[in-house]
Amino acid sequence: MILVGTPNVGKSVIFNYLTGSYVTVSNYPGTTVEISRGTGRIGEEMYEVIDTPGMYSLVPITEEERVTRTLLLTEEPDLVIHVADAKNLERMLPLTLQLKEAGLPLMLVVNMMDEAERIGRFVDIDKLSSILEIPVVATAAAINRGMKEFKRKVAEYGKKRAA
């Protein structure tokens, strides 16, 4: 499973949650400048979890974006988790569409829902999932909100792929 998304959306928080490992988490972009790998159990399955540098597009501009793109296109991941900031979702969705168009097995995690709600933003997760035709889950990973549902959807996705 590969975690992707723009800088500062919570990829490393989710990586830490899934693996029990610790990668540096801070509130400024560019903290993850290399790939971190770990393993975590979800349901009955063990997963390799890969945290990647931030990227804005599958068309790389920076070396960090190039590293992430190469990883996505060469590793043949079982699942790509696009972590997006709920406060700025409209700016995040073009990457979701690029990942989907690339034929990658994709799930969208709309993170920082607590912050979005604080500023009066509402995201209809079911409608978004229906429009995108991919699994979508709402989280506030920093406070552990929605993370059980996230793990449940990953396990469900894994079972569908195995069938």
In percent, how much of the chain has pLDDT > 70? 91
* 116 phi and psi angles, rounded to 5 deg: -65, -45
Read off the pLDDT of residues 50-90 as tens digits, 9 standing for 90 and up: 999 899 999 989 888 998 999 999 988 999 999 999 999 99
Please tell me the predicted confidence (pLDDT) of residue 93: 97
Read off the pLDDT of residues 3-47 as tens digits, 9 standing for 90 and up: 999 999 999 999 999 998 765 444 444 444 578 889 999 988 899
5: tokens are 């998304």
Please tell me the predicted confidence (pLDDT) of residue 21: 78
CA distance 142 to 21: 15
Q: 15 Cβ partners below 8 Å, 6+ apart?
A: 3, 21, 23, 36, 38, 49, 51
Is residue 15 within 8 A of residue 91, CB to CB? The reply is: no
Alpha helices in 56-108 (DSSP H): 63-74, 89-101
- Domain spans in the chain, listed from the N-terminal domain onward: 2-162
* pTM of the shown model: 0.91
Which has more pLDDT, 158 or 16?
Answer: 16
CATH superfamily of 2-162: P-loop containing nucleotide triphosphate hydrolases (3.40.50.300)
Residue 163 clears pLDDT 80, i.e. is over it: no
